[in-house]
Amino acid sequence: MRTQVAIIGAGPAGLLLGHLLRAEGIEVTVVERATAEYVLGRIRAGVLETTLTDLLHQLCIDQRLNAEGQLHDGFNLADGERLIRIDVAALTGRNVTVYGQTEVTRDLMDAAEERGLQVFYGAADVALHDIESDAPYVTFTKDGVEHRIDARFIAGCDGFHGPSRQAMPASVARPFEKVYPFGWLGILADVPPCNHELIYANHANGFALASMRSHVRSRYYIQVPLDEKIEDWPDDRLWDELAVRLGPDAAAHITRGPAIEKSIAPLRSFVFEPMRHGSLFLAGDSAHIVPPTGAKGLNLAASDVAYLTNALVAFFRKNDNDAIAGYSDKALNRVWKSERFSWQLTTLMHRFPGQTPFDRRMQLADLDYIASSVAAQTAIAENYVGLPL
């Protein structure tokens, strides 16, 4: 089969790119190695910047987003004694929307057929070929049958472990990585959130986060060592620890309930350069990973997709190569700024092994400065709500 753009990966980045290109009349085929059910089963972040919500509105894939999404004007940093509220709306004139990544993916999936977006789920042995030529192609096996997709370009939206980044020649690859010495133990429960806005807490026992997916579904996290085991954290123990780390005010409003899902996720910062080589482009987690502090992962993928859509539309409509050539530099410029913010917030709010009393005093001094400085709060708010494209 033949298409103009072959997209590897049917997570939110790949599906969003597919929808945007199809809306511009560009032929697209999406290949996903997992089943649709598996893709929808991933429990991920749910704080959306306007970059992403604007794209969903543009595509008219926003009915449930409009009905169920929660507009947030701010969020909170807790230092053990107080809540420091960052008034994002007052400081930037914008807000964020709380709406689960799973729901974004579901909406994009449900709209695919109407837009004529062809998606192959359950594709095995996905491989990329001739990416340095003008005629790359993708091969895969589905239900025991071998398939080949010839394309003008390939977009790798297949995550950190997908084949797209691996197809980049070692001679051009420049990976950058920082692995953090802890993970996040998360619990999802059908209980009302303890606060109407997110709380990022810095406590002597370690970091904690109070988040939500809706008015009746909450998502909480605590920092744990990497060798911690989920079975060592029954629900009651986890709720008790959350109450301690979030502080008495938040604890008084915590509603406990059985876990729908519980998992431990390691934290890393990762950037791969370049994000384009020949006829292959990388977008989303295939090119970069951010620690979840600050909720930048899905939002960075959306900005990649916006840049890549504009570049591909310019190429196919105007035979303009400039945007194609500039995609990697433009995307990476925003990626590194978001990586900096996520790293900075992670460093500020977590307890690190070997942390000295001096290190701890620096965290507290930084939090105290943020509490008293409009300039510091503005810088945080600008990054949290999303830097301009």
Residues assigned a catalytic role: 72, 200, 292, 296, 384
> Distance between CA atoms of 227 and 222, rounded to whole angstroms?
14
The residue among 30, 67, 65, 32 whose CA lies nearest residue 50 is: 65
Residues in the chain: 389
Helix (H) or strand (E) holding 385: helix 374-385
Enclosing H/E stretch for 268: strand 259-273
Query: Three-state SS string across 297-344, please?
Result: HHHHHHHHHHHHHHHHHHHHHHCCCHHHHHHHHHHHHHHHHHHHHHHH
E-strand stretches of 5-136 = 5-8, 28-31, 47-48, 70-72, 75-78, 83-86, 96-98, 118-120, 124-129
Both tokens of residue 69?
A: 């999404």
- Residue 61, token pair as written in the block: 């894939």
